A and B are shown apart, each in its own frame.
Chain A
Amino acid sequence: MRQYILRRCWHMLITLFALMTIMFFLFRLLPGDPAMTVISSAMYPKAQEAMRAQFGLDKPLLQQYLIYLQNLITFDFGYSFHSSRSVSELLGGRIVNTLVLILPSMILAYLLGAVLGALMGWYRGGRFETAMVLVFTVLQAAPVFWLGMLAILLFSINLGWFPPGHLVTPGMFVNRDLWMYLSADFLHHLALPFIVHTSYQIAFPLLLMRSSMLSTAGEDFVEFARIKGLPERRILFRHAARNSMLPVATTIPMILGWALAGSVVIETVFSWPGLGLLMIEGVQRSDFPVVQAAFYLIAVLTILGTFVADILYGILDPRIVYD
């Protein structure tokens, strides 16, 4: 077990390192010279040179690369081209906003999806079950941003139940602290994106759990539990569902990574000020330090999320052999 965790750590470090290297080259392939966004060609050549020196662009590429690595590791992302504030300042709270939306919603989606999927797989074959499979497949096929727009149209604009976006009512909170995240106003704003994201994400674990149950239901140990005369509900949840969980649990790391990466879309629809929206805004303003930082943090969260989920999975299922 310890060796498994250590190896997994080592692999995570390699992945992080590779990611940083890919980013270094990616952002240096930008059209023209990224520095030209701030260094105007109308400046005196001397002044241009001075600014290049200030950004460290006069140094050899290798040295630039090393400085770049050091900056990413220490979370020093420089200054925004757009607002001249430091990028770290702009990032404040953004990570929390993304996680507060995505994580609870993924946990709920997997829990609900597993229970509903288990029931559907157990009581299979009925009209109701066939209809549910159709509904959830169609739901999974719908673009989540479009679902979000429909939800805003129905619940915010027509019914007026929820605000159509943003983190809190503008101007209501001076300090973005813990109290804000616990306030009724925040939860009211969170509700709609949360519901949309959860109902979109639920389809995958649900359908997978259902088909996993279908194959478990025919296994000998389920027959055996029946012969023993155990109550149906006990067989369903204690025996069949428990064993069907494994293939579903395996997908958590991957799907969590997808959900974090997909935050770009859901945050855009609901104007939710998370990392994804920050990145999109940065791209639109050619604010590359911001784009780079947001992209990097989404990737780090993805890699960390995958790592944690992998370790948890390894603890849950002792049979797993790491090769």
Chain B
Amino acid sequence: MNALVHFVQAVRQSRSGRISLNIVTGFLVLALIGPWIAPYGPFERVYDGAGDLVRLSPPSAQHWLGTTNLGRDVLSQMLWGVRSAMIIGFATAFGVVAIGVNIGLVSGYFGGRIDALMMRITDIFLGLPFLPFIIVILSITERNTTTIIIAMTLVMWRSAARVIRAQVLSLKQQPFVAAARTTGGSNATIIYREIAPNIMPIALVNVAFSLAWAIITEASIGFLGYGAAKSISWGTIIHDAYASQLMYQAWWWVMPPGIAIMVLVSSVYFLGRAYEHVINPRLARQ
């Protein structure tokens, strides 16, 4: 909680940080209330007064972002999609960093054989082609939010682990670690009480970049047709437009999800960078 307060205070120091924070907060609010304010359900077929399906209607007062070939309201799909983007994005980002932090801490702290073994395993995961691997897993298992999060976490923790380990290696040399050791602290105490709080900032930067990457990856999975079966995501909206071959006529169908991803992900990038500049003043020397 303290780390979060510090994060918010830190990113608010710069203008790009403030703007990005507002945008991300806005999306978080939409994730909470989106399904309530959405005029229609994500898969609801909309009929007009005469009882005809409203197919491929361009944006109008009735449908701000138009409708799809199956008469679904694009704005409603977008609003429902915020939630799945946020849930999958944040769950993956925290999963990735949780694994990365633990592996990085243990590997960096103990060094030697444990470190060698763990880094070898990390290298093997680095060799896995990430998107094909996720697709293979999702073609084997059931496709729902949980399996997507697990599949993505499985291939994304590897870079976080390396960054954290490098940080732990340099922290280990600091006097406070030696002090904790002489006062008889156990390994677990030193790792989680002394070193872990000091890697929180870098872990938070990793959460931000993982979040950005997870949102793009989730959209890619959806676009390729492997999104969660029973829910809507921005990637699946683009997939439906692409698969129906109507995407080049119905611009209102394809533009919103792409723009939403672009705005959200670049804000998250800017947040990560703003925070990085505060915790690492060398970067800010401009």
Residues of A within 8 A of B (CB): 11, 14-16, 18-19, 22, 26, 29-31, 124-125, 137-138, 140-143, 145-146, 149-150, 152-153, 157, 211, 214-215, 218, 254, 257-258, 260-262, 264-265, 268-269, 276, 279-280, 283-284, 291, 294-295, 298-299, 302-303, 306
What residues of chain A lie closer than 8 Å to B254, measured between beta carbons? 146, 149-150
From A125, A145, A298, contact of B223 by CB (8 A): A145
Would you call B266 and A143 a contact (CB within 8 A)? no
B95 CB → nearest A CB, Å:
19
* Contact A157 B248, CB 8 Å, known A149-B242, A214-B286, A264-B224: yes
Q: Does B128 lie within 8 Å of A19, measured CB to CB?
A: yes
**Residue numbers in B under 8 Å from A146 (CB-CB):** 219, 223, 238, 254, 257-258, 261
Q: Which 3 A/B pairs are nearest by Cβ-Cβ distance?
A: A261-B129, A141-B265, A141-B266
Q: A214-B286, A306-B127 are in contact. Are A140 and B238 (CB under 8 A)?
A: no
Residue pair A137, B266 in contact (C-beta under 8 Å): yes
Interface core residue of A22, A124, A283, A303 (most chain B CB under 10 Å): A283
Interface residues of B in 218-260 (CB under 8 A from A): 219-220, 223-225, 235, 238, 242, 247-248, 251, 254, 257-258
For residue B248, which residues in chain A have a CB less than 8 angstroms away from its CB?
Answer: 149, 152-153, 157
A22-B124, A137-B269, A257-B129 are known contacts; what are 7 more A-B pairs with Cβ within 8 Å?
A: A15-B123, A143-B238, A146-B238, A153-B247, A218-B285, A264-B224, A284-B225
A48 to chain B, nearest CB (A): 23
Q: Is the CB of A140 within 8 A of B128?
A: no
CB of B51 within 8 Å of the partner chain: no
- In the assembled complex, which residues on chain B have CB atoms less than 8 Å from the CB atom of A260? 129
Residues of B within 8 A of A (CB): 120, 123-124, 126-133, 135-137, 139-140, 159, 212, 216, 219-220, 223-225, 235, 238, 242, 247-248, 251, 254, 257-258, 261-266, 268-270, 282-283, 285-286
What residues of A have a CB within 8 angstroms of the CB of B128 in the complex?
19, 22, 299, 302
CB-defined contacts of A279 to chain B, threshold 8 Å: 132, 135
Instruction: Give the docked Cα–Cα distance between A302 and B158 (Å).
Output: 15
How many A-B contacts if CB must be within 8 Å? 136
Asked if A265 contacts B223 (CB within 8 A), the reply is yes
Interface centre among B123, B131, B285 (most CB of A within 10 A): B131
Give the residue of A215, A257, A269 whose beta carbon is less than 8 angstroms from that of B126.
A257
**Chain A contacts for B224, CB-based, 8 A:** 264-265, 268, 280
Q: Which residue of B lies closest to A124 (CB)?
A: B286
Q: If the complex has contacts A11-B123, A146-B258, are A211 and B269 also in contact, measured as CB distance less than 8 A?
A: no
Out of B135, B140, B247, which one reaches A264, CB within 8 Å? B135
Instruction: Report yes or no: A15 in contact with B124, Cβ–Cβ below 8 A.
Output: yes
Q: With A and B bound together, what is the CA distance between A299 and B139 in angstroms?
A: 18
A262→B130 CA distance, assembly (Å): 8
The secondary structure that dominates the A interface is: helix
Q: A146-B261, A264-B224 are in contact. Are A15 and B127 (CB under 8 A)?
A: yes
A-B contact list, 5 entries, CB within 8 Å: A137-B270, A143-B238, A149-B258, A264-B224, A306-B126
Q: How far is the CB of B167 from chain A (nearest CB, A)?
A: 16
B238 neighbours in A (Cβ, 8 Å): 143, 145-146, 149
| Bound-complex Cα distance A252 to B232 (A) | 35
From B133, B135, B261, A143 is in contact (CB under 8 Å) with: B261
* Contact, CB under 8 Å: B129 / A299: yes
- Rounded to whole angstroms, the CA-CA distance of A138 and B123 in the bound complex is 30
Distance of A306 Cα from B283 Cα, bound (Å): 28
CA distance A250 to B262 in the complex (A): 27
Chain A hits for B127, CB < 8 A: 15-16, 18-19, 257, 299, 302-303, 306
Given A142-B261, A145-B238, A150-B258, is A214 in contact with B285 using a C-beta cutoff of 8 Å? yes
> Are B139 and A291 interface neighbours, CB within 8 A?
yes
| Chain B hits for A18, CB < 8 A | 124, 127
Contacts of B258 in A (CB 8 A): 142-143, 146, 149-150
User: How many angstroms from the CA of A237 to the CA of B132 in the assembled complex?
Assistant: 39
Residues of B within 8 A of A306 (CB): 126-127
